[in-house]
């Protein structure tokens, strides 16, 4: 300012389109976008390469190594249960949602593994816990090919590192079974059955003609439900379009599973239903199911779920009972044992589990021990 005989700081900075610098001075530190920092360096003749060496940058989260295993694992979480929101010019928010606090901690650890930051504590969304990471990672994820907004519309692909590295692919399947999958233990003709599955959805509206969209709307009216089973759709051409447009992630996952286990039976995903949104968008849901004993053992032994989570614990308990009793007709006593295992391992995360894990993993959250509050946020009237 002395050099330019300037008397007013705000006017001096405004002339250089750098009024934001006044906030840096007032608050002694700031989160700074790269573009503004470059403009600052240009205006004052500073070499940007010297900034980090001088210790001016307190949190050097750039550059993000988008080829690191930590970043690829983070990308799997965001592909499944994450959300990147987009502002006018760039990504401005990265959220992760799940009911299980253990999965939130997996996300937190993956963010820390790439030198990112978590913003605040877990909060409640609509029946799920939500945690937020810094915007730097949101931009890096978009730059790596993961689009912002609804994944049913952006229809992302697997990261090429996940495709090439068997260990990263295995981790991706573990996370997917946790976040997009389910398993069930059942009895049929006095024999025990275990099923493992996961599913993904894709928006197919733009691939359909107006007549085909109208036919789906007619089915919605007829069935009085926005979800229509595929078997209810009799239009051959419409079925052909649905079956030729699987979600990219899902299609690649099945292809890689077949490639990795070529000696086993061929894995195949199928569309199971379509959904008509209130905005008139049509989404097709695809699923893959694993039923046979050999395939169940393969999924359990080779992949499984992320250790320590609600679903992983439940899966282990169901699998243990299944392996003990499979392959033969069961007695009445054994059937009672199976029913007890099912009762003790419900699919929904309990309020007690959430409370216990919140107190362990996020002890500073005030509501962690309030079971009634947790049940209310889950949309449940009683512990289930």
pLDDT at 384: 45
pLDDT at 24: 83
SS3 of 84, please?
strand
List, edge to edge, every strand of the sheet that includes 118-124.
82-86, 91-98, 129-133, 118-124
pLDDT at 355: 98
Buried b / exposed e along 84-120 (16+ C-beta atoms within 10 A): beeeeeebebbbbbbbbbbbbbbbbebbeebbbebee
Residues 6+ apart with CB under 8 A from 56: none
Q: CATH 3.10.28.10 residue ranges in the chain?
A: 65-149+350-384
Half-sphere exposure of 255 toward its Cβ, with a 13 Å CA cutoff? 12
pLDDT at 383: 47
- Between CA 5 and CA 2 the distance in angstroms is 5
N- to C-terminal Cα distance for the chain? Answer: 66
Concatenate the DSSP letters of all residues of 246-293 into one string: --HHHHHHHHHHHHHTTTSPPP--EEEEEEE-TTS-EEEEEEEEE-SH
pLDDT at 20: 86
pLDDT at 49: 82
Would you tell me which CATH number, out of the four given (3.40.50.10860, 3.10.28.10, 3.30.930.10, 3.40.50.300), belongs to the domain 65-149+350-384? 3.10.28.10
Q: Is the pTM of this model over 0.75?
A: yes
List the CATH code of the domain at 180-344.
3.10.28
DSSP at 209:
-
pLDDT at 115: 86
pLDDT at 91: 61
Task: Show pLDDT as tens, one digit a residue, over the chain (384 residues).
Answer: 888 888 898 899 999 888 888 888 887 767 777 788 888 898 888 888 888 777 777 665 667 888 899 999 999 999 999 999 877 666 678 999 999 999 999 999 999 999 888 999 999 999 999 999 988 888 889 889 888 888 999 999 999 999 999 999 999 999 999 999 999 999 999 999 999 999 999 999 999 999 999 999 999 999 999 999 999 999 999 999 999 999 999 999 999 999 999 877 789 999 999 999 999 999 999 999 999 999 999 999 999 999 999 999 999 999 999 999 999 999 999 999 999 999 999 999 999 999 999 999 999 999 999 999 999 999 986 544
Q: Which long-range contacts (CB under 8 A, 24 or more apart) does 325-330 make?
A: 325/192, 326/191, 326/192, 326/194, 326/293, 327/293, 328/191, 329/189, 329/190, 329/191, 330/187, 330/190, 330/191, 330/192
Tokens for 42? 């240009």
pLDDT at 307: 97
């Amino acid at each position: 300012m002395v050099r330019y005989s300037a008397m007013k700081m705000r006017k001096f900075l405004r002339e250089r389109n750098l009024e934001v610098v006044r906030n840096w001075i007032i608050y002694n530190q700031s989160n700074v976008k790269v573009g503004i920092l470059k403009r600052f360096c240009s205006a004052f003749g500073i070499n940007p390469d010297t900034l980090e060496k001088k210790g001016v940058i307190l949190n050097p989260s750039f550059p993000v190594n988008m080829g690191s295993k930590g970043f690829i694992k983070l990308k799997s979480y965001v592909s499944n249960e994450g959300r990147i929101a987009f502002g006018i010019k760039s990504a401005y928010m990265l959220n992760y949602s799940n009911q299980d606090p253990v999965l939130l901690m997996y996300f937190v650890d993956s963010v820390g593994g790439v030198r990112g930051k978590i913003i605040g504590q877990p909060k409640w969304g609509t029946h799920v816990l939500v945690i937020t990471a810094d915007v730097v990672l949101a931009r890096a994820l978009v730059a790596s090919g993961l689009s912002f907004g609804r994944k049913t519309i952006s229809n992302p692909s697997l990261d090429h590192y996940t495709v090439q590295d068997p260990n990263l692919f295995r981790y991706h399947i573990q996370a997917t079974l946790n976040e997009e999958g389910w398993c069930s233990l059942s009895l049929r003709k006095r024999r025990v059955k275990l099923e493992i599955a996961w599913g993904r959805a894709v928006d197919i509206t733009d691939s359909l003609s107006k007549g085909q969209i109208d036919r789906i709307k007619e089915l919605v009216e007829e069935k009085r439900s926005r979800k229509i089973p595929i078997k209810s759709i009799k239009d051959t051409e419409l079925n052909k379009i649905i079956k030729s447009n699987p979600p990219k992630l899902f299609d690649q996952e099945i292809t890689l599973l077949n490639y990795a286990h070529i000696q086993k039976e061929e894995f195949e995903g199928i569309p199971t239903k379509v959904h008509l949104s209130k905005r008139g968008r049509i989404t097709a849901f695809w699923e893959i199911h694993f039923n046979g004993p050999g395939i169940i053992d393969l999924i359990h032994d080779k992949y499984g779920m992320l250790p320590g989570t609600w679903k992983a614990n439940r899966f282990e308990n169901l699998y243990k009972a299944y392996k003990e009793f499979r392959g033969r007709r069961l007695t009445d006593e054994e059937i009672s044992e199976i029913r007890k295992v099912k009762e003790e391992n419900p699919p929904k995360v309990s309020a007690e589990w959430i409370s216990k894990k919140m107190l362990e993993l996020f002890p500073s959250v005030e509501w962690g021990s309030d079971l009634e509050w947790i049940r209310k946020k889950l949309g449940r009237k009683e512990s289930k």
